[in-house]
Amino acid sequence: MTQPTLILVHGAFATSFSFAPLQAELAFHGVRSAAVDLPGHGFAATFPLGYQAPQDLARFTSEPGSIRGVTVDDNVRALTEAAARAKEHG
């Protein structure tokens, strides 16, 4: 039986990129891993003009962030899909 693929899930205000050093070490030891970006994070994140420099305080306080509208169900769905892909492709 082959080893399972580890699914790595970031915490708040992070992305899958934070796992790069860990994934390199896991691969060195022959352990497969997949780092998953939760909805609204990583490449799916958008940064409205109010969040960019120079900041417009009025825009910054009124524009929604990239995770607006993302629910726990959305996160569960993303992880379920990642686990299914890992199971299918190793």
- Residue pLDDT, tens place only, 9-22: 998 888 999 999 99
> How confident is the model at residue 9, as a pLDDT?
95
At residue 13's C-alpha, the angle toward residues 15 and 50, to 5°, is 110
SS3 60: helix
Residue 1: pLDDT above 70? Answer: no
Distance CA 76, CA 86 (A): 15
Distance CA 70, CA 50 (A): 20
Interstrand relation of 6-9 and 33-36 (parallel, antiparallel or unpaired): parallel
The tokens describing 29, both together, are 């030891």
Residue 49: pLDDT above 70? Answer: yes
Give CA separation, 61 vs 1, 8, 30, in Å: 53, 32, 46
Distance CA 51, CA 62 (A): 10
Q: Record the pTM.
A: 0.77
> How confident is the model at residue 67, as a pLDDT?
84
